[in-house]
Amino acid sequence: MDMKPVPVREGNYNVQDAEGLRQGFDWEDVKKEFSWYKTGKVNMAYEAIDRHAEDPDKKDKTALLYSAPDREESVTFDQLRKRSNQFANILKKQDMKKGDRIFLFMPRSPEFYASFFGILKIGAIAGPLFEAFMEQAVRDRLEDSEARMLITTPELLERVPVDQLPDLEKIVLVGAENVDVENYIDFDKEMEKVSEDFDIEWVDLEDGMLLHYTSGSTGKPKGVYHVHHAMIQHYATGEWVIDLKEDDIYWCTADPGWVTGTSYGIFAPWLHGVTNVIRGGRFTPDAWYGTLEKYKVTIWYTAPTALRKLVSAGKDVVDQYDLSNLRHVMSVGEPLNPEVITWALEVMDLRIHDTWWMTETGAMLIVNLPCMDIRPGSMGKPIPGVVAAIVDNEGNELTPNQMGNLAIKEGWPSMMRAIWNNPGKFESYFINGWYVSGDSAYMDEDGYFWFQGRLDDVINTSGERVGPFEVESKLIEHPAVAEAGVIGKPDPERGEIIKAFITLNDGHEASEELLEDIRKFVKNGLSAHAAPREIEIKDTIPKTRSGKIMRRLLKSWELGLPTGDTSTLEE
């Protein structure tokens, strides 16, 4: 769509001149912002929490403004330092060590953040799991990572198949008041017993910090492995793109089970010592606006699905709230519709800054800086220190306006360092020195990047990445389902919805009840966001002669498009 650019806003932003920032830029210079540059002692937890807690002017500053329907709490940097120290002591007492994988499966809460930093403080690798995951999703991740410990709640423990996980030695239960916790470690009781002092385990910049599981088009979810080095990029983008300053009140809506919820829900704001609003629970436009108003949020990082919901709720709803503190809004995870940008300008007098990146990239790569004109529909330009291009399948650069693979020159600080237990998969991302994203895009003459779609079958539903193979595997576990093929179907609000095509086993009759039962089966096995919203029964599922499901063909049928090359189709 051709729309007029949205010009730079006058304002006191951190970065005044994008081209100036890019000239002569060197990541080495960002390192000077960290205390380890002088001391040689590295740990993300120190930089994000303890460093501020040791500063007399900052120690009593609110780090976390927590809000849930039944609980409100504010936690200072010093309190977070002490609580994460306590948790680190619990981990030591339980013989947890540097490099161990320790997973968190619980809703956002102050305990989550204390545990998370406790894990980093002992040099272990944190694995946050989205709280809506069901049994199979939880098992796949704990199994693959060989996690030794899990921190969870009594309610969520029901979804953890403990007896099928031989590596899982210890479970910490948070909020276990009325539960028989004989075999478990009680978070509250243990916290009382241990010291508030802890000697942080100093690590190497290249030591492991985080495992985020994410979906591809084949196989089970993969463990994307990130190291402490990533903090350089979290810090820099926090300054340039999020525009964080001392007195900001920042809110990122993402759950820490997804990469946005760690890189920008935890690291970037706290590396800058900024007050961070953490809000659990479900959302409605009133809950969003209410949170922005109540906490006087100045900077908001959210997703197109949320913004589209606000647009459909209409101007009347916005007008009921005082959003006068909000000065900067960003979006990530899915294409940001130009209409949403226009709407926000009109109704809230704010520009929405799109950002593009992935679980694998660890931090933002292509962005709209506050000092750049926004071209509605474009993801913006690469940040300083990052080279992006459109390449062909051999990794050769294409010229402006040619469509191809969106690729990034290897070696930015927050890049994943491995796929857990899967070196082959890791290698497969790289061609000719480029990290190839799997997104198709083009670059215009002025260097703005424009997203076009995914090149593989990965589905993006409400900003959540779902692998069709996982859903298909779950579907065929249902007694009535013989075969299944799963695609993303375009949807005006959610970007895509999951649509499943199935064939039935003999003796099963199609009915509304059966379809509902199949949907619930996936929901209860994997998670609500992975359950197909539409299921269609077919006589056969198209496959190649080698037995691969032809999702491309299913999609063409669904969209009424030409079916293209079907020469590999099985009879």
The alpha helices in 8-149, defined as continuous H runs, are 18-22, 27-31, 36-39, 44-45, 51-53, 77-93, 110-121, 135-145
Residues 200-229 binding ligand PRX (CB under 6 A) are: 214
Residues 97-136 binding ligand PRX (CB under 6 A) are: none
Under the binding rule (CB under 6 A), the answer on residue 437 touching ligand PRX is yes
The pair of three-digit structure tokens given for residue 29, joined into one six-digit string: 């210079």
Q: Report yes or no: 289 and 323 within 8 Å, Cβ to Cβ.
A: yes
Query: 429 or 501: whose CB is closer to ligand PRX?
Result: 429
Q: Work out how close the CB of 363 gets to ligand PRX at its nearest, in angstroms, rounded to a whole number.
A: 9
Under the binding rule (CB under 6 A), the answer on residue 449 touching ligand PRX is no
506-525 footprint of ligand PRX as x/- string (CB under 6 A): --------------------
Backbone φ and ψ of 491, nearest 5°? -140, 130
Q: Work out how close the CB of 331 gets to ligand PRX at its nearest, in angstroms, rounded to a whole number.
A: 7
Choose the stretch contacting ligand PRX; rule: CB under 6 A; options: 59-67, 87-95, 279-287, 353-361. Answer: 353-361
Under the binding rule (CB under 6 A), the answer on residue 454 touching ligand PRX is yes
Query: 304 or 485: whose CB is closer to ligand PRX?
Result: 304
Under the binding rule (CB under 6 A), the answer on residue 439 touching ligand PRX is yes
The alpha helices in 165-301, defined as continuous H runs, are 187-193, 231-240, 259-262, 268-271, 285-294
Under the binding rule (CB under 6 A), the answer on residue 340 touching ligand PRX is no
Query: 133 or 356: whose CB is closer to ligand PRX?
Result: 356
- The closest residue (CB) to ligand PRX is 359
Under the binding rule (CB under 6 A), the answer on residue 460 touching ligand PRX is yes
Backbone φ and ψ of 407, nearest 5°? -135, 155
**Cα atoms in the Cβ-side hemisphere of radius 13 Å centred on 319:** 5
Choose the stretch contacting ligand PRX; rule: CB under 6 A; options: 104-112, 237-245, 327-335, 482-490. Answer: 327-335
Among 66, 251, 270, 451, binds ligand PRX (CB under 6 A): 451
Q: Can you name the residues that pair with 549 across neighbouring β-strands?
A: 543
If you count DSSP H runs as helices and E runs as strands, how many of each does the chain have, helices first?
21, 27
| Distance between CA atoms of residues 151 and 157, nearest Å | 9
Under the binding rule (CB under 6 A), the answer on residue 459 touching ligand PRX is no
Query: 110 or 265: whose CB is closer to ligand PRX?
Result: 265
Under the binding rule (CB under 6 A), the answer on residue 260 touching ligand PRX is yes
Under the binding rule (CB under 6 A), the answer on residue 378 touching ligand PRX is no
Q: What is the DSSP string of 158-177?
A: TT--GGG-TT--EEEESS-T
Packing angle of the helix pair 285-294, 304-313 (nearest 10 deg): 100
Under the binding rule (CB under 6 A), the answer on residue 274 touching ligand PRX is no
**Cα atoms in the Cβ-side hemisphere of radius 13 Å centred on 129:** 33
Under the binding rule (CB under 6 A), the answer on residue 305 touching ligand PRX is no
Query: 80 or 242: whose CB is closer to ligand PRX?
Result: 242
Q: Work out how close the CB of 335 gets to ligand PRX at its nearest, in angstroms, rounded to a whole number.
A: 4
Among 262, 359, 378, 462, binds ligand PRX (CB under 6 A): 359
Query: 200 or 358: whose CB is closer to ligand PRX?
Result: 358
Among 65, 132, 160, 259, binds ligand PRX (CB under 6 A): 259
Choose the stretch contacting ligand PRX; rule: CB under 6 A; options: 127-135, 397-405, 436-444, 477-485. Answer: 436-444
| Distance between CA atoms of residues 207 and 220, nearest Å | 25
Q: Report yes or no: 118 and 80 within 8 Å, Cβ to Cβ.
A: no
Among 18, 124, 332, 475, binds ligand PRX (CB under 6 A): 332
What are the residues whose beta carbons fall under 8 Å from the beta carbon of 20, sequence distance 6 or more? none
Under the binding rule (CB under 6 A), the answer on residue 335 touching ligand PRX is yes
Under the binding rule (CB under 6 A), the answer on residue 358 touching ligand PRX is yes
DSSP code of residue 8: P
Q: Work out how close the CB of 254 gets to ligand PRX at its nearest, in angstroms, rounded to a whole number.
A: 8
Q: Report yes or no: 378 and 195 within 8 Å, Cβ to Cβ.
A: no
> Measuring CA to CA, which residue among 244, 415, 445 is closest to residue 327?
244
Q: Work out how close the CB of 130 gets to ligand PRX at its nearest, in angstroms, rounded to a whole number.
A: 11
Classify the C-alpha dihedral 38-43-45-50 as positive or negative. Answer: negative
Under the binding rule (CB under 6 A), the answer on residue 461 touching ligand PRX is no
Classify the C-alpha dihedral 302-308-312-314 as positive or negative. Answer: positive
Among 148, 465, 478, 499, binds ligand PRX (CB under 6 A): 465
| Distance between CA atoms of residues 110 and 312, nearest Å | 33
Q: Work out how close the CB of 4 gets to ligand PRX at its nearest, in angstroms, rounded to a whole number.
A: 20
Backbone φ and ψ of 279, nearest 5°? -130, 115
Query: 94 or 422: whose CB is closer to ligand PRX?
Result: 422
Say what the alpha-carbon torsion angle 154, 157, 158, 162 is, to the nearest 10 degrees.
-140
Q: Work out how close the CB of 8 gets to ligand PRX at its nearest, in angstroms, rounded to a whole number.
A: 20
Residues forming contacts to ligand PRX in the complex (CB under 6 A) are 214, 259-260, 332-335, 354-359, 379, 437-439, 451, 454, 460, 465
